[in-house]
Chains A and B, each alone.
Chain A
Amino acid sequence: MDQKTLEKKDRVVVRFAGDSGDGMQLTGSRFTDATAVVGNDLATLPDFPAEIRAPAGTPHGVSAFQIHFASRDILTPGDHPNVLVAMNPAALITQLGALEKGGTLIVNEDGFSDHNLRKAGYESNPLEDDSLGDYQVFAVPMTSMTVRATEEIEGISSRDAARCKNLFALGLVSWMYGRPTEPSTHWIEKKFADREPVRDANLAAFRAGYNFGETAELFAVHYEVEAAPAPPGTYRNVNGTQALAYGLIAASVRSGLGLFLASYPITPASELLHALSRHRRFGVHTVQAEDEIAAANMALGAAFGGRLGVTATSGPGMDLKAETIGLAVAMELPLVVVDIQRAGPSTGMPTKTEAADLLMALYGRHGESPLPVVAPCTPSDCFNSAIEAVRIAVTHRTPVILLSDTFLANSSEPWRLPDVASLPEIDPGFATEPNEGDRFMPYLRDERLARPWAVPGTPGLRHRIGGLEKEDVTGNISYQPENHDHMTRLRAERIARVAVPDVVVDDPDGDASLLVLGWGSSYGAIEGAARRLRREQGLKLATAHVRHLSPLPGNLGEVLRSYERVLVPEMNLGQLSRLVRAEYLVDVDSYTKVDGLPIFTRDVMEQVEARIG
């Protein structure tokens, strides 16, 4: 009988942390699936070390997974966890600082050997001294209980058994927050279907953890987080990488253009190469190129051949692709360049997020080299943004940079699946016949100032294009002063003419004096902060988010001018601030954060409170 107290919570942040080899990402993603089934809104963020196999037990080797779930609409993976699960001393020492004061700390007592304590840098065992007095500590011998639970299973050594301790932790936390067991047990059964002993050991470990919570007197309280109201529809959990991959495939289907992705492995963009490489059924052609420059050129070559050419990378790769992107600007061919931003400069922190490539995307090429830039704002928005980038690239015959970031790529949220029929149709509008009498003019433009896309194999449209300046209309090489002036202005004008939607301002009563303007992945933190400040403190503030960074939305200047103060939070040293000041001669208040972590709701709240609180 359940003698325990059931408390209701409207939101919880749990962080699982352990050694890279402890299976924390798996634990987190299983917990996420069970949470999705409950109907909570959720957001997750994995945090893993850059080293593939950092020395076991050391702070460098700690891998963590955070999930925020709630009975209402939430937008970020949460700032400070309420619950920290630490599988060893290294996980504790590196993650404890994030845990809220008074928060719940569940540790695997068996992981706290003298050896592990020393490796983590502890001089005494924190479970035995009073250093954890600020927290509610539950020390559970997870490893030994897991080994005991699996004793009866044949073909499982105690070493193998100990490796299932993450499932014990999953079971325990699943009990604590009333997660259903079926999603996890089904997953285990399917995953290890052909390895019976492993399957049984994992099931036993999971059940042991769940039952331990239910029966042990240690835990007096468990919690319920009710389903969040959500618009009707079918949902799935998706991270930014998957959503981006699906968006590109959807754009391929909706345009009838074969998707050709050429990439060079780089953290964190390799995941997109992996994700797309699986979809041969959709005709997705992926090439792992010899370097970043080759990848961009292959994608551009494929675009000349009439394919949807895409290349994906992260900061260092963008530096290398710059010249090729400039070539695409001159050739006026569709090309989508995906930049999953990470902390720089140079190699920087490959697994940490940042959004400091904005000005590079806009201006990081020699000469006047304008192109459209689109930045998704949530993991699921990566789907829409990918389609939008393709739409602009194809209809306007231009390279487009899609600026995502490490945080968006890795974090996940529920995604209400779109009706495929409602997705925009993209017409490649290939040239099929001569456009001036019986002659073909490769730079004769339509009303959007876009030139014809004539692909090899089309009779009568043979032409040569390249990086040399060309005469408008004919495309012949030209060094004429007037022509270069004309072409330079024309290239700027045709990007300026790309139709982008206005920014939407959220100003519930229309009387706010402060506008918080964001771009990219800061969306969740800004919107989350605004909702809480309005709800909890009655503060008046407006928010707006810029998804198109080039060209900028037509109403942006007017919006900026209609607020007394504008706060721009960014994961860089003020790049959008610089941009809007230059564009609109409006001063803005820049809040910047470059610690490799996403902007938190708390950060934005503090900034707003300091100004109008």
Chain B
Amino acid sequence: MSERTNGRPGGNGSGPDADLGFGQPGEKAVSEGTVELPLTKADFSSDQETRWCPGCGDYAVLASVQSFMPELGVPPEKIVFVTGIGCAGRFVYYMDTYGMHGIHGRAPALATGVATSRPDLSVWVVSGDGDALSIGGNHLIHALRRNVPLKILLFNNQIYGLTKGQYSPTSEEGKVTKSTPFGSQDHPFNPVSLALGAEATFVARTVDTDKKHVAATLRAAAAHEGAAFVEIYQNCNVFNDGAFDAVRAKGDKERNQIRLEHGQPIRFGAEDERCVVRGADGRLEFAEVSEVGEDAVLVHDAQRQEPSLAFELAHLAERPTGPTPVGVFRAVERPVYGAELSASLEDAREGVGSEDLEQLLHSGETWTVA
């Protein structure tokens, strides 16, 4: 845990379950005096009518994000949401902040322009599996490798919703949809693995309806300096209902959610009776705590610079159909893209005037005609 985030008083959650071992958003985020009354969820809710399908998982995430925003300690005018195309794209209209609803797949690039030119802002990207992983895959990986200070929320429902039900780059092989009546032949992306492959400095996963866990994950993402990638399993009740039941439905989720907590043994199951251990061949495998003993249980370390453990955890479950890790896979420090540069450039610009321009134009070989 970094010194900067250490010891901040808790918000509305406490204990390892609520903060995933990552504390609170940074002090940098505290308001610069434009906000007098404590902010509430209402301050971040726009007057626009929400128009997702009834029962859509997006509602739950929107409520969680709006509820979390006051905790950021940033006045709403200093927050920018940027979205692309797809159901998740509408998110921006429901947040009473500044917002840009861009074109398909390009939100990370649009947001990079905002964040690198205006390091004083808190910039959030909301995207979906088609938007971020198909048409916009390039921008996502480059934003992550550059470590642009963006909070990227990927609503993964494993389907194209807005275009009415085609398979997506996270749909399972054999998926039967309107565009794949004989079953999809595509091998799907594992978004967490992809983000880790792009050397993202912060990679997490949560589940739309799990309010407390969503809030804790947002908190950890907000506290991270640099690019934070959060995959949110989001149920599309119209075109792909139940895709995440194993980790989302009451009764199943208690059994299957493997809650990663930094510095904690990786245990899961209704009674925490199961665990992750390193097997004889070096691979991670599931075991019963009673059989292997508590000392054998793997302890999660999200702050390891080299990403192999995070990768292994990402591949513990190729599909969210059984025991599946959620929480923060990786949170490491690396220089943040552009922030310092931008500030110094603005200082430089404010210091130059007509004389400097005159000098610039006259640089090099000149001659005078009388």
Q: Which residues of A contact B (CB under 8 A)?
A: 33, 36-37, 39, 183, 230-237, 246, 249-250, 252-253, 258, 260, 262, 279-285, 287, 289-291, 293-295, 297-307, 309, 323-324, 326-327, 331, 417-418, 420-421, 456-468, 476-477
- Alpha-carbon distance A476/B346, docked complex (angstroms): 33
Evaluate contact between A249 and B100: CB separation under 8 angstroms.
Answer: no
B366 within 8 A of A: yes
Among B95, B356, B361, point to the contact of A281 (Cβ < 8 A). B356
Beyond A33-B365, A302-B113, A461-B77, whether A466 also contacts B100 by CB under 8 A is: yes
Evaluate contact between B357 and A420: CB separation under 8 angstroms.
Answer: yes
B302 to chain A, nearest CB (A): 27
Closest residue to A323 on the B side, CB-wise?
Answer: B103
Residues of B within 8 A of A420 (CB): 354, 357-358, 361
Evaluate contact between B101 and A466: CB separation under 8 angstroms.
Answer: yes
- Alpha-carbon distance A253/B364, docked complex (angstroms): 20
B110 within 8 A of A: yes
Evaluate contact between B114 and A462: CB separation under 8 angstroms.
Answer: no
**Across the A-B interface, the 10 shortest Cβ-Cβ residue pairs:** A301-B113, A283-B349, A466-B101, A464-B99, A298-B113, A297-B109, A294-B109, A302-B117, A290-B142, A305-B118
- Alpha-carbon distance A306/B96, docked complex (angstroms): 19
- Alpha-carbon distance A235/B365, docked complex (angstroms): 9
Residues of B within 8 A of A262 (CB): 113
B106 to chain A, nearest CB (A): 5
Residues of A within 8 A of B142 (CB): 289-290, 294
Evaluate contact between A285 and B116: CB separation under 8 angstroms.
Answer: yes
Extra inter-chain contacts (19) besides given A258-B349, A301-B100, CB under 8 Å: A36-B367, A233-B369, A236-B365, A250-B357, A253-B352, A283-B348, A289-B109, A293-B109, A294-B138, A297-B109, A298-B113, A304-B98, A305-B117, A306-B118, A456-B79, A456-B118, A457-B121, A460-B77, A466-B89
Beyond A283-B349, A301-B111, A456-B80, whether A39 also contacts B367 by CB under 8 A is: yes
Evaluate contact between B352 and A297: CB separation under 8 angstroms.
Answer: no
Evaluate contact between B345 and A305: CB separation under 8 angstroms.
Answer: no
B97 within 8 A of A: yes
A187 to chain B, nearest CB (A): 9
- Alpha-carbon distance A309/B116, docked complex (angstroms): 12
Evaluate contact between B98 and A231: CB separation under 8 angstroms.
Answer: no
Evaluate contact between B48 and A463: CB separation under 8 angstroms.
Answer: no
Evaluate contact between B102 and A466: CB separation under 8 angstroms.
Answer: yes
B61 to chain A, nearest CB (A): 18
- Alpha-carbon distance A596/B77, docked complex (angstroms): 51
Pick from B76, B100, B138, B347 the residue with the most CB of A within 10 Å: B100
Closest residue to A238 on the B side, CB-wise?
Answer: B364
- Alpha-carbon distance A157/B80, docked complex (angstroms): 62
Among B77, B79, B117, B364, point to the contact of A307 (Cβ < 8 A). B117
Interface size on B, residues (CB 8 A): 66
- Alpha-carbon distance A281/B345, docked complex (angstroms): 7
Evaluate contact between A281 and B348: CB separation under 8 angstroms.
Answer: yes
Closest residue to A242 on the B side, CB-wise?
Answer: B364
Cβ contacts A to B, 14 pairs, < 8 Å: A39-B367, A183-B365, A232-B369, A236-B364, A246-B360, A280-B348, A282-B352, A294-B138, A302-B116, A304-B113, A324-B103, A327-B102, A420-B361, A456-B121
Beyond A285-B117, A420-B361, whether A232 also contacts B370 by CB under 8 A is: yes
- Alpha-carbon distance A213/B352, docked complex (angstroms): 49
Evaluate contact between B113 and A309: CB separation under 8 angstroms.
Answer: yes
Residues of B within 8 A of A253 (CB): 352-354, 356-357
- Alpha-carbon distance A466/B352, docked complex (angstroms): 34
Pick from B79, B92, B115, B367 the residue with the most CB of A within 10 Å: B367
Among A36, A282, A290, A464, point to the contact of B98 (Cβ < 8 A). A464
Among B106, B109, B138, B368, point to the contact of A235 (Cβ < 8 A). B368
B78 within 8 A of A: yes
- Alpha-carbon distance A304/B114, docked complex (angstroms): 7
Evaluate contact between A298 and B349: CB separation under 8 angstroms.
Answer: no
A528 to chain B, nearest CB (A): 21
Residues of B within 8 A of A418 (CB): 361
- Alpha-carbon distance A464/B294, docked complex (angstroms): 52
Closest residue to B83 on the A side, CB-wise?
Answer: A466
- Alpha-carbon distance A418/B362, docked complex (angstroms): 10
Evaluate contact between B352 and A236: CB separation under 8 angstroms.
Answer: no
- Alpha-carbon distance A42/B115, docked complex (angstroms): 45
Among A36, A250, A323, A466, point to the contact of B365 (Cβ < 8 A). A36
- Alpha-carbon distance A302/B116, docked complex (angstroms): 8
Residues of B within 8 A of A309 (CB): 113
B99 to chain A, nearest CB (A): 4
Residues of B within 8 A of A285 (CB): 116-117, 341-342, 345
Residues of A within 8 A of B368 (CB): 232-235
Residues of A within 8 A of B92 (CB): 464, 466
Evaluate contact between A298 and B120: CB separation under 8 angstroms.
Answer: no
Evaluate contact between A457 and B120: CB separation under 8 angstroms.
Answer: yes
B291 within 8 A of A: no
Residues of A within 8 A of B76 (CB): 462
Closest residue to B77 on the A side, CB-wise?
Answer: A459
Residues of B within 8 A of A236 (CB): 361-362, 364-367
Residues of B within 8 A of A307 (CB): 117-118
Evaluate contact between A297 and B360: CB separation under 8 angstroms.
Answer: no
B121 to chain A, nearest CB (A): 5
- Alpha-carbon distance A466/B360, docked complex (angstroms): 38
Closest residue to B117 on the A side, CB-wise?
Answer: A302
B36 to chain A, nearest CB (A): 11
Evaluate contact between A464 and B138: CB separation under 8 angstroms.
Answer: no
Evaluate contact between B350 and A456: CB separation under 8 angstroms.
Answer: no
A2 to chain B, nearest CB (A): 26
Among B100, B114, B356, point to the contact of A464 (Cβ < 8 A). B100
B82 within 8 A of A: yes
Evaluate contact between B367 and A234: CB separation under 8 angstroms.
Answer: yes
